[in-house]
Amino acid sequence: MKVKTFYGWSEKGMDKKVNEFLKDTSIEIVDIKFSSPIFFFSAMVIYKEKVH
């Protein structure tokens, strides 16, 4: 398993980054964790690389 961490100053900006990553068809998403501290948004995507 691997993780990829994203952050953004706005919800819209972070959504764009995460959605772009999720377009990758060579990965299988295990879980997504979200956090919203005071000044920014963050997400950690836990995923596996698909074996071909």
Is the pLDDT at 11 greater than 80? The verdict is yes
Strand ranges across the sheet with 27-35: 2-8, 41-49, 27-35
Is the pLDDT at 52 greater than 90? The verdict is no
pLDDT range class, residue 37, cuts 50, 70, 90: confident
Percent of the chain scoring above 70 in pLDDT: 100
Cβ atoms 21, 8 nearer than 8 A: no
Question: What residues does each domain of the chain span?
Answer: 2-49
Q: What is the mean pLDDT of the chain?
A: 93
Is the pLDDT at 22 greater than 90? The verdict is yes
